[in-house]
Chain A
Amino acid sequence: MIDLVESLPVPVFIKSKDGRYLAVNQAWEEFFGISRDEFLGKSVAELYPQNPGVAAKHAAMDRELWARPGGQRYETPITTFAGEARDTIYYKATFRGGDGEVEGLVGTIVDITARKQAEAALRESEERFRAVVDSANEGILVYDRALNIVAGNQAAERIIGVPLLDIIGAAGFTSLLPCVHADGRTLEEKDRPTRVTLRTGKPLTGYLVGIKRRDGQLTWLSVNTAFLRRPGEDDWYGIVSTIGDITAQRNAEMALRESEARFRQTFELAAAGIAHVVEGRFTRVNRSLCEILGRSEAELIGISVKDISHPEDRDVSDPGRARIYAREIDSVRFEKRYLRGNGAVVWVEVVIAPVRNEAGAMLYEIAIYKDITERKRADAALEEAHQELKRSNAELEQFAYVASHDLQEPLRMVSSYTQLVLRRYGERLDGDAKEFMNYVVEGAGRMKQLIEDLLAYSRVGTRGKELAPVDLEAALRKSLTNLRNSIEESSAAVTWDPLPTVLADDMQLAQLFQNLIGNALKFRAASVPRIHVSAAEKDSEWEIALADNGIGIEPQYYERIFMVFQRLHNKTEYPGTGIGLAICKKVVERHGGRLWVESRLGEGSTFRFTFPKGRAEKNG
C-alpha cells in the first residue's frame, strides 16, 4: 500500500487524527519542493506559520472529517515552499484502524492552477468582447436558427429606437417597425436581411434598409450579416448582423446628388453662356455658349479661348485674370469680341471668377458670357446719330452765323445809299418817291434787326460760356440794371424770394431774366406791372417761377410763343421780332432745364423754368 502510494503520480499525504503528517509520497515532495522529512510529524500550522488562514482552513476541514468520517473535496489556493501560488483541489478521506476506529486521513491534491488561469482568461476575454460589443457604434444582433433575436447591444437599441428588451425575442428588427427599400418600396418579410442571408446562403454586406422610427424619423441602415458556426462544425447555429446608421451620410449624398443635378440643369439651361476654363482652354461649355460662339460643344472643348478671340481683343482679360490669380479680386468683368464659327464677330460681356478647392488652390475659372452684339450695335448707331446731330447742329449754327453776317453787307448798301439819295437829292424828289424810299430804309432796318436777332439766337449755342455756379439773385439784379429805364418808365414793382445758386452761364442767365421781365413789362395790362420771382426746390431740380399781372396768353399759344419769330401781336401794338422767348427757351435747354408758361388771358402769366440741381451742388 505504501509502495503504491509512493509511486502514484499525484501528490498524496497521510495525516494522523491529531493533524500531523504521517507520510507523503515523492510526488508530494516534488509538488511542494522540499523533502518529506520536513513534513513528517508536523501539523499544517507548524509548516505555514506565515499563513495561519490556510492552516486554519485545513484544520477546520479536518475537524469536519473527524466529525463525519468519509470523503471530502474542497478548493484552496496554496503556496509552495518555493513561493509559487497554486490553485488546488484537496480530496481527503478518513481511514480506520483494525479496531474500526478512525485513525487518520489520506489526501491528494489536484493542481488546477492552469485551469483557473484559463477560466480567468476566458472570463476576461468575454468581458472584453462584451465591452467591445456594447461600446460599438454599430448595432449588433445575434439570431438563432429560428431567426429570432437572442442578443443585441446598446447601439442596436439606440439605432433602432426600440428598447433592447423588446428587440430580444423579435423575429428580426425589421419586424418591429415599418421598413422600406432604398427606392421607398415597403420591405417585405422575405426581404429581411436574415431571410435573404438564409435564402442565398451568403453573408450580406451593405444591405440598405430604411426604418420608420417611432419618433417619426426615417433612419437609413446599412446591414451586414454572417453565419455563426462552432469550431469544427459545418452547420450554423445562428446569424449575427451588424447595423450601421448611415442616415447622415445618405442624406448628404442625396443632397450632393440633388445639388449636382440642379447645377447641371442650371448650367445647361442658363440663358447666359457658361464655361469652365483651365489654363486658358475650355473644359466645359453649355448650350447657350455654343449658340453665342456659333460652335458646337465638341469644337469648343479643349481649344484655347484666345484662339477664337478677336485678334485685337485676345489679351483683354489678362490684367483682370492676373489680379484674380494674385487674389486681389474675386471676379473680373470685361467686354470683348469673339469670332464665331462662321467668322462673324460677336461682342460679349464676360465675367470671370475663380473656383478654388478647400486649400485655396485654383481648380478652374468659371466664365459667364452675355451676347451684347445688339447693344454694341445700338450704342454705335446711337453714338453715330449723336455725332451726326452734333455735326448738323454745329453746321446749322455756323450757317446761321455766316448767313446773318453776310446778309448785312448788301443790306447796308441798300439802306445807306437810299438814305444818301434822300439826304442829297431829297428836295428834288416828290412826296411819293420820298415815302417809297422811306419804306426801303424801314424795311432794311427791320431786316437788320431780324438778322441780329437770328445771330443772337444762334450764338446761345455757339458762344455760350462754360457753366459755373451762379447766384440766380445776382443774375436777376443784373437784368434789372439793364432794364432800369423800362422799369422806371412803367413804375413796375419787381420782387423776389430768396433764390438758389445753380450751375449756369451767368451772361445767359441775366439775358434770360432780362427777356422774361422785358416781356412782362412790354405786355403789361392797364394796371401797374407787378412781377414776382420765386423758387421751389424739387427732387432733382429747382423750379423758378416768374409771375406777372400782364395781359396773359391764351392756351393755344403756349407753345407757339417760344418759336423763333412767332408773334401774337402786330408790330404797331407791340414792337419786336419775336426772338426773345425763343432765346429764353434755348438758354434754359442749354442748361438742361425746361421752360413753359401758365397763363390766363387778362390775369397775367407765370413763366416757369427748371435748373438741374445735382450738377450745381457737385461743382459749387
Chain B
Amino acid sequence: MVEQNRPVEILLVEDNPGDERLTREALKEGKVYSNLYWVKDGVEAMQFLRREGRYQDVARPDIVLLDLNLPKKDGREVLEEIKTDEDLKRIPVVVLTTSKAEEDVLRTYNLHANCYVTKPVDLEKFIVVVRSIDRFWLTVVTLPPNGN
C-alpha cells in the first residue's frame, strides 16, 4: 500500500441527499482517507472546479463522482466541459448512472468518462463500488501528483 500523505479530495455531484449520504457511509467503510465535497447541480459543480464565487478557496478535486441526472446543467454537459477544459481534463471522472440504458446513451455522445458505474440497488454492491474507487485512486496516485 502506498503511503498516503494527504486526504483524497473527492467532489460528488449529486442532487439526491440519500445518495450523498450513502456515498459518505460507504467511504467510511473504505481504506482511503478522504474529503468528500458535495454539490447539488452541474452549475455548482463547474463553479467548484473552476473555484468561482463561493468556491474560491476549495481544494482541487482528485476525482469527480458525477451523477447524470442533475438540475440546471446535467451530467453530460458537465462531463463535456471538464473534458474540453485544458486545466480540468486530467481529473478522473467516474460517472454514476442509474441504469445500463443511461450508460449507453452517454457512450453515444462519445464523451470520455474515465469510468461508468451503475448505482446498485444493493448496499453491499454499492460499498464494493466505492471500494473500487479506492483502488482506482491508489492506481492514479502513482501518476503525476495533484497540480495544486
Contact = CB atoms under 8 A, between A and B. Distances in A.
A543 B119 CA distance: 42
Given A409-B16, A463-B104, A415 B98 contact: no
Interface stretch (A357-365, A367-375, A400-408): A400-408
Nearest to B123: A419
What 8 A-B pairs are tightest by C-beta distance, nearest first? A419-B123, A415-B121, A448-B121, A413-B18, A416-B123, A408-B98, A412-B121, A455-B101
Contacts of A452: 99-100
B122 interface: yes
Contacts of B3: none
Interface residues of A, number: 23
B117 to A, nearest CB: 13
Given A416-B126, A420-B123, A444-B121, A405 B100 contact: no
Nearest to A441: B122
Contacts of B126: 416
Contact of A405 (B16, B101, B120, B124): B101
Contacts of B22: 416-417, 420
Contacts of B124: 419
B105 to A, nearest CB: 9
Interface range on chain B: under 10, 10 to 19, 20 to 34, or 35 or more? 10 to 19
A116 to B, nearest CB: 126
**Which applies to chain B's interface (DSSP): helix, strand, loop or mixed?**
helix
B18 to A, nearest CB: 5
B122 A401 contact: no
A445 interface: yes
Interface string A393-430: 00000000100110011011101110110010000000
Contacts of B122: 415-416, 419, 441, 445
A522 interface: no
B102 interface: yes
A530 to B, nearest CB: 33
Given A408-B121, A420-B123, A445-B122, A459 B101 contact: yes
B119 to A, nearest CB: 6
A420 B25 contact: yes
Contacts of A444: 121
Contacts of B99: 404-405, 408, 451-452, 455
A415 B119 CA distance: 12
Contacts of B104: 463
Contacts of B19: 412
Interface string B105-143: 000000000000001111110100000000000000000
A450 to B, nearest CB: 12
Interface string B1-39: 000000000000000101100100100000000000000
Contacts of A401: 101
12 contacts: A405-B98, A408-B98, A413-B16, A415-B121, A415-B123, A416-B18, A416-B126, A417-B18, A419-B122, A419-B123, A445-B121, A452-B99
Interface string A422-447: 01000000000000000001001100
**Chief secondary structure at chain A's binding surface:** helix
A225 B119 CA distance: 120
Given A415-B122, A420-B22, A459-B101, 7 more contacts: A404-B99, A412-B19, A412-B120, A416-B22, A416-B121, A417-B22, A423-B123
A463 B105 CA distance: 9
A407 to B, nearest CB: 10
Contacts of A423: 123
Contacts of A413: 16, 18
A439 to B, nearest CB: 15
Best-buried of A412, A417, A448 by chain B (most CB within 10 Å): A412
A405 B25 CA distance: 24
Interface string A455-467: 1000100010000
A411 B98 CA distance: 11
A417 B98 CA distance: 17
A413 B17 CA distance: 10
Nearest to A447: B121
B70 to A, nearest CB: 13
Contacts of A463: 101, 104
A416 B129 CA distance: 13
A411 B16 CA distance: 13
Residue among B19, B25, B98, B102 facing the most chain A CB atoms (10 A cut-off): B98
Nearest to B104: A463
Contacts of A448: 121
Contacts of A441: 122
Interface in B47-104: 98-102, 104
A448 B18 CA distance: 18
A318 B56 CA distance: 73
Interface string A228-249: 0000000000000000000000
Contacts of B120: 412
A79 B89 CA distance: 146
A459 B104 CA distance: 11
B76 to A, nearest CB: 14
B102 A405 contact: yes
A195 B126 CA distance: 129
Contacts of B119: 408, 412
A405 B19 CA distance: 16
Nearest to B120: A412
Contacts of A459: 101
A57 to B, nearest CB: 137
A390 to B, nearest CB: 21
Nearest to A419: B123
A172 to B, nearest CB: 106
Nearest to B101: A455
Contacts of A417: 18, 22
Interface string A126-167: 000000000000000000000000000000000000000000
Nearest to B108: A463
Q: Which of A408, A411, A452 has the most CB of B within 10 A?
A: A408
A506 to B, nearest CB: 16
Contacts of A412: 18-19, 98, 119-121
A411 B121 CA distance: 7
